[in-house]
Chains A and B, each alone.
Chain A
Amino acid sequence: MVNSYSWVNHFQAFVLIIFTFVISAQSDVPRPRGVSLSKASLYSPTKDFTCFDGTVTIPFNYVNDDYCDCFDGSDEPGTSACLNGVFHCTNAGHRPENIPSSRVNDGVCDCCDGTDEYAQPETCKNTCEEMGREARAEAQRLADLHKAGNHLRLELIEKGKKKRNELAEQLSQLEKDKTEAIKIKEEKESLKNQLEAKENEVLQVYRDAEEKERKRKAEEEKEALIKEGTEYFSMFDTNDDNVLTVDEVKVVNAFDKNKDGEVDQEEIQYFLGTNESVDKETFLSTTWPMLKPFAMSEQGVFQRGVENEELDDQDTDEATRDIETDEGDNEEENAEDDLPQDVDQEVEPESSRIYDDETQKIVDEASEARRQWTDAERAVREIESNIRNFQQNLEKDYGLQQEYATLDGQCLEYEDKEYVYKLCLFQKVTQKSKNGGAEVGLGNWGEWAGEDNKKYSVMKYTNGIACWNGPNRMTTVNIHCGLETKMLSVSEPYRCEYNIELATPAACDDSNASQQQSHDEL
């Protein structure tokens, strides 16, 4: 069989352009060179050949005559004549293969049985047996690996399911806790409202007194202002006619708002309006309040600038402190938690006042109720936040059988010449230069991204730190069966797109492997 096969090849090497017909080495179905068994029936030597696309019909001896007649290349399955043709190698002993016609007789061995180089049969050795053996051995190795790994995978599945059940249990416990906590919160709230009402009542006396005092002070200040204003008015009104004229104002330094040594029209207008003069009443109600700071500063009573600066500083300090507090809080809890504290702070000045014992007691009770209510409310929020976390974890896709569940949060490291890479499964990927420098995020957990039925063979971590002048970094993790969970390699095939090859028992599946093996042998 083998002899006659190579004889045919040899013959064709000399008569290239002649129609060729090959007796397949593997079966007795006669078919033109380069035609697969399944398509053999389409080439019948007894009738004209019609191109697969139906456009042209040619005598059968035009098939494989090394001239392309069909647009679809179907008349030249065994030659390189058609640019878009396909050559089928049987590759007995290994996998059959379809190669582009352009690889027929180009001097490169593409089929392991060497049939693609029939013009110079000595070019290629038949390596199918060897390759088939290797492929089978590799398939066997993989099958063994999957089989060995499958135990570990089953453990992972068990643990994963357990973890999931635990999560579910914990979640339902949390739900219960939440109901309980809400109840407590409501109780505390009602108590607080009650005590605060009481507190309000007793504090009203103090507030009224305070208000009265405040009004009195305001009155005093107003009187002082008028008195002062009157004094100044008399001082400025040099001719004592109870009217300040422009001429009188012009000589008063206090009106020189911009301190340029001259009271100009603009400044006069600023203080006197559009009038030529101002009477005492208008002066006191309108001009004096504007003028006073300048008059005072003129006399060195107070130095406006300095005082303002101090005020500004205070403001800034407070602002800074606020920000710091915010940050501190954010790390632990939600920013909302600040609100009740702020309320406390506002109330505090009041409580620092001196009350009589009775009042003080009521105020203290109210404060305590407020504190308890705040605690209760925080407890509810904490539980809710926990519930959200648990729900998210439960919603995460850990594989068909939860085999990846226990790997969540597990961090792996891989070092190459320049970098240390860290993969925290279902969390994030980072890179750190060995020469120091900050950790760079290469992506956060995105999704499973394997194609079709291999969804769980590829993970995507997306939205890493943006590349200079480029996209955000992202990482693709290709998952293989392995007896331990570890990174096999990290590469950056495209700028800012990383590839991790990851081995893990979670990807071992002996049912899959055995299927594949049997397919190979077909």
Chain B
Amino acid sequence: MKPLGLPLIFLLAVGVLGVDRNNFKTCDQSGFCKRLRPFKPEKSQYTLNLDTVIVHGNVLSAEVTTANTEAEKKVPLWKYSLTLSALVDGTFRIQVDEADPIYPRYRTQLALDGEPKADGLQLVSKEGGKVTLTNTQGHKVLITAEPLKFEFLDQNGDVAVVINENSQLLIEPLRLKREKNDEDEENAENAVEVEEEGTWGENFKSHHDSKPRGNEAVSLDVSFPDADQIYGIPEHTDKFALRTTTSGEPYRLYNLDVFEYELDSRMAIYGAVPVLYAHGSKRTVGVFWHNSAETWVDVVNYADGTVVSSLVNLVTGGHKRRVDARFISESGIVDVFVMLGNKPADVFRQYTKLTGVTPLPPKFSLAYHQSRWNYVDEADVRGVDENFDVHDIPADVIWLDIEYTDRKKYFTWDSEKFRHPAEMVANLTAKGRRLVVIIDPHIKREAGYFLHEDATEQGLYVKDKDGNIYEGWCWPGSSSYLDFFNPAASKYYSERYRFENFPGTSKDVHIWNDMNEPSVFNGPEITMPKDCRHYKPPQDGQDGLASYWEHRHIHNEYGLWQIRATNEGMLERADHKYRPFILTRSTFAGTQRYAAVWTGDNAAEWGFLQASVPMCLSLAAAGVSFCGSDVGGFFKYPEPELMTRWYQAGAYQAFFRAHSHIETKRREPWLYEPSTTALLRDAVRRRYALLDFWYTLFYEHTLDGTPVTRPYFQEYPNEEETYTIDDQYLLGDKLLVRPVLEAGAKSVKVYLPGRDTNTLWYDVDSYQMHKANGYFNQEVNIAKIPVYQRGGSVVPRRERVRRSSTLMANDPFTLVVALDANNTAQGSLYIDDGETYEYKNNKYIYAKISYEPKQMTYTLVNPSAQFSSRAWIERIVIAGIRAAPRTARLHHGGRSTALQMTLHRGNDVLVIRKPGAPVSEDWSIQFAE
């Protein structure tokens, strides 16, 4: 969804498509970025007061002071409190706040998945102006008192992360606004503080930001010795590996509804996840900047050609491998997590330990979604549903965008076009399908609309700078915005999802929360003014600045609060029995705990198809594995080739949904020529065949927290060529996907990693084996999707693709065993009911599958877990077999059965016909020569 209105009409009238950059700030137009970006003192003003150091439990606390380095530094200018905590799994946290702020500074609330678990912290020494600490895993922290510096050492004792190396630690102390007439006092008391222009108010275009708290920015620099590349801080349309920003804008993190966002850009878009990963062959580490305010990130990669070599030599003494990064946020405190890895998978896991994993999604949500702004009425929905069957294309979900409502009033239905929603839903569920409807956070200001009246009466709306209800412009016209920070608002909102409050919905109706940056068409940068007021519990007082948070403090987590309330509502509406599915556009650290994310309003252009891969890789590394793009492109119309390639790519991305703009030509798969429809059908069927593989990956993600969609370097961390590859990726550690992203491609460059470990890769279409050796050219025709299975893996498939995933629940499996150089392979399979929480009561099947030359075993990991399934194994394909066994016998439940086998291809693919083994019990197959 996107603002349509006047800007679009204007843009199209003059024949130009593209972002209107004037609507969005550059660093120079954002007061604190302009103010702080040049800040790079010779020496940090901050000093640790060694006398105040106390180590208690897992926490070091101490006082930090600033001194005027120019003059006598006897008298501290300001006092700060420092805490450094050791957390489990090689993670440390540093927090620096004012020791005695005039009112509390905002601490981001929802990003963390509960209080992080403590590790032991021991004071090793405190001498020579340094404090040395260690955790239980052998990581060390060296704190230099003056100037303040933190060095984190890996388990080998090498410096892995340095904080404040570049002296860019800065916390602007809160001050009271002085009246103009007490100039004398000002001169006397605080001569150093020169009142900069913009301290108490800033303008952008026609918008004024009143800044009642004045300047309150924070900044911190982090250095990563030995790093070749850094990644993270989605959401941007840039490459996965971040680039040096010295000669341009920093990366910006500020959730914004950017109309027709542009590619290869560091501009802020819908999401902001302030986590960075630094990777090199020596180690992988990460830093999570726990801050929800507008944030800018500068990057300097010393290996980058754009960095002046003299600077490199000066700073690193000729040591080329290092990346520096620096966060600048408008408000909050310095709160940073240092994750010491030291492999990519470790550091990705460490991040999800802090902010949470994606819980096991309902299975249907991993299948194919069909959306459109808008399916116009019930007959249209029925027609689309039926056409999937007519054209024999599987689909699990049909989506309704904003037009289903009664004039954009959420939790209502258009009384003409959607008169029988319950019947419509029943019609879908009869074939195992679901409905997703959109619910946005803006509320139509209309007398008589229950939500508006309740919110007004109960004080549930965000307030403007003067404390009145804030009014902005969005889809419904004049709108106000629920203040989810108010527990009463969140509770009220959650309750709207109850079936009795939202008639026509059922457990099979799921939710899409869009426009939750929040999007405000007439607001500064199309969002909410920063001086709007959010609820704050009254512990710090009822009046004045201490009694509310400003929107500037919480902006990036606004959407997270909304989806949290939605999630809660969806759990409660069905007594916590069913797993909700939510899609969100706004994204922050922790979003993955509640929702899937899509890359917003893209366009039917090859560039956007290409961008979907690094964008989702970046989000996945930042915890959001459940990511996808609008297949086909939101704006404009995809011609058959682009549409085909996008379906083929989407079939191998986690969130697989076709969507389109209301003004574009309809493009359901059957509206193309039959030859194209056939290709789209094939792509969707491939997804369904692998649905259990996807489901297993997501289950395993809940166990280990590592991305489902992985960059090569996660699995091959020493293979330097892979560090910048972001047009191909891995699904788990088993499948390698190189979607065709180029128009008219006759061949694509596929990189096969794992040269050093003699890794083999099998083309999943032909079982042709390739030895890993970097790039090779894969010929492609329009039907080809280059996907390879790693030798040494077992992938479960279901070849009987039906109308929807639900209808495939009892169907048999095909196990594809791809052998490694040692003729072995391992895999896993997870099965449960697909929609409830019964799996938490041990109602599931999780089996490890292992192949060795003499036998293949299927073993339940947790014998006390049980789930009754009529599914069975109908086929086992063993690819890369060198000496075919003569006989095979299935051993199961004390019985032994001879199995039939056939050899295919160049006698290197063995197919076991109908072993008939169950999925709910252990079994093994013995092979004999």
Contacts and interface: CB of A to CB of B under 8 A. Distances in A.
B803 A495 contact: no
Interface residues of A, number: 25
A469 B875 CA distance: 52
B577 interface: no
A471 B808 CA distance: 41
B665 A108 contact: no
A470 B383 contact: no
Contacts of A80: 800, 802, 811
Nearest to B916: A17
Interface string B528-563: 000000000000000000000000000000000000
B801 interface: yes
B686 to A, nearest CB: 11
Nearest to A80: B800
B18 to A, nearest CB: 15
Interface residues of B, number: 31
A107 B802 CA distance: 11
B891 to A, nearest CB: 18
Contact of A493 (B380, B392, B662, B808): B380
B663 A102 contact: no
Nearest to A68: B799
A100 interface: yes
Nearest to A107: B807
Contact of B663 (A68, A108, A468): A468
Contacts of B124: none
A469 B12 contact: yes
B315 interface: no
B916 A102 contact: no
Nearest to A79: B800
Interface of B: 9, 12, 376, 379-380, 383, 392, 416, 430-432, 662-666, 685, 799-803, 807-808, 810-811, 874-875, 913-914, 916
Contacts of B913: 67
Interface in A19-66: 65-66
A493 B383 contact: yes
Interface string A471-501: 1000000000000000000011111000000
Contacts of A280: none
Contacts of B416: 417
Nearest to B902: A69
Contacts of B916: 17
A495 B665 CA distance: 7
Given A17-B914, A469-B12, A495 B811 contact: no
B802 to A, nearest CB: 5
Nearest to B417: A417
With most chain B CB atoms within 10 A of its CB, the pick from A67, A106, A108 is: A106
A478 B666 CA distance: 20
Given A81-B800, A102-B392, A491 B379 contact: yes
Contacts of B383: 493
Nearest to A470: B663
A244 B913 CA distance: 119
Nearest to B685: A83
Contact of B431 (A66, A68, A108): A108
B822 to A, nearest CB: 31
Contact of A494 (B392, B432, B665, B802): B665
Interface string A67-93: 110000000000011010000000000
Contacts of A494: 665-666
Nearest to A418: B416
A105 B810 CA distance: 9
Contacts of B665: 470-471, 494-495
Nearest to B913: A67
Interface string A102-126: 1101111000000000000000000
A495 B807 contact: no
B898 to A, nearest CB: 15
A106 B800 CA distance: 10
B802 A106 contact: yes
A17 B379 CA distance: 40
Query: What 7 pairs between A and B have smallest CB-CB spacing?
Result: A106-B807, A494-B666, A102-B802, A67-B914, A106-B802, A80-B800, A469-B12
Nearest to A105: B810
7 contacts: A65-B914, A67-B914, A68-B799, A83-B799, A102-B802, A103-B802, A468-B663
Contacts of A106: 802-803, 807-808
Interface string A275-314: 0000000000000000000000000000000000000000
A27 B812 CA distance: 33
Contacts of A491: 379
A75 to B, nearest CB: 12
Contact of A495 (B663, B874, B875): B663
Contact of B800 (A83, A470, A495): A83
A108 B808 CA distance: 11
B815 to A, nearest CB: 15
A468 B12 CA distance: 9
Contacts of A468: 9, 12, 663
Contacts of B875: 67
Contacts of B664: 495
Contacts of A470: 663, 665
Contacts of A66: 874, 914
Contacts of B801: 83, 102
B432 to A, nearest CB: 8
Given A17-B914, A83-B800, A468-B9, A495 B392 contact: no
B99 to A, nearest CB: 59
Nearest to B671: A494
B803 A108 contact: yes
A102 B388 CA distance: 13
B899 to A, nearest CB: 12
A103 B663 contact: no
